[in-house]
Amino acid sequence: MPRTTYADRFDALLAKDYLSERDRNFISDLYAHYKRKRALSSGRRHWFVQLEQRYASRPVTDEATTVRLDDLIARMNGNGTQWESDFAGSLLAQARSGRTLSEKQIAILRKIEAKWSDEAMRIRETWAEDFTPEMAEKFRVMIKYYTITGYFRRITDAHAANSDMVPSREDYERITNNKYATKILTGWFSEPKFAVGSMVAFSSMLKYSRAGVSPGDFGVVVSVNDNVPTAAARGNKVYRVLPVGKAQTILTEERCLKRARTPKKK
């Protein structure tokens, strides 16, 4: 009968699917050392034997949890984020090793499962068909905003390469559903306070001089939503205004304007 070598024992131990991720990494490091040195020190042999004994038999596992994680991994089928795939795989290894999941791990697991429920997968499959013109406009506005700020570079670069492409649901939610996006989109879609052609005055919010314009000067609104808001703040809708007595229009925000009051007749 052939002699069982350490290499055989390492291979047999690493073939067990119920090793914890930490122990698998440790055993792999031990194995790599053994292959280089063709021997193990007494300390390394001690740890190796302990791990062999710990994993000598398959532990009692929560079958429902392993089935649950197997189903999630099958649903993602490599289409989840790298982090989601790694997390689910780590939990599966943990469950197979007989260790229970923590409350925090279960809470995160539920969030990932919600993204891959039957309803979520149906929405994902029909996403391109359900992508409305309003959604496209929201996405376009936020693309312009984040192109300026420099965030979400992967998404903005992908759009720059193919502006007709419908974004994934995850990318759409990521770029349009956050606290900054809410304020930018509110500014874009809100009803303007000042109509095109109306006379306005520059308010004290105008903290700096633009083309010789100062607070209290007058102007005429030339266009509304002339550009995407650049500040995630109230009153960020952008107007193009022609200051009275000037030849060039300027861009300014709604919060920097107020209604022009006609002087009372004496």
* 219 beta partners: 200, 243
Torsion of CA 123, 164, 228, 173, to 10 degrees: 20
- CA 206, 208, 213 angle in degrees (round to 5)? 75
Helix (H) or strand (E) holding 169: helix 169-176
- Please choose, from the candidates 211, 209, 210, 241, the residue with its C-alpha nearest in 3D space to the C-alpha of residue 224: 241
For tokens 């993204």, what's the residue? 115
Domain boundaries, the chain: 6-54, 63-124, 128-177, 199-259
pTM of the predicted model, to two decimals? 0.61
Instruction: Render each residue's pLDDT in the chain as its tens digit; 266 residues.
Output: 678 899 999 999 999 888 888 889 999 999 999 999 889 999 999 999 999 998 888 887 788 999 999 999 998 887 778 899 999 998 998 888 888 899 999 999 999 999 899 988 888 888 888 899 999 999 999 999 999 999 999 999 999 999 888 998 889 999 999 999 999 999 999 999 999 999 999 988 876 666 678 888 899 999 999 899 999 999 999 999 999 988 889 999 999 999 987 665 55
- Measured CA to CA, the distance from residue 185 to residue 193 in angstroms comes to 16
142 burial type by CB count under 10 A (0-12 exposed, 13-18 middle, 19+ buried):
buried
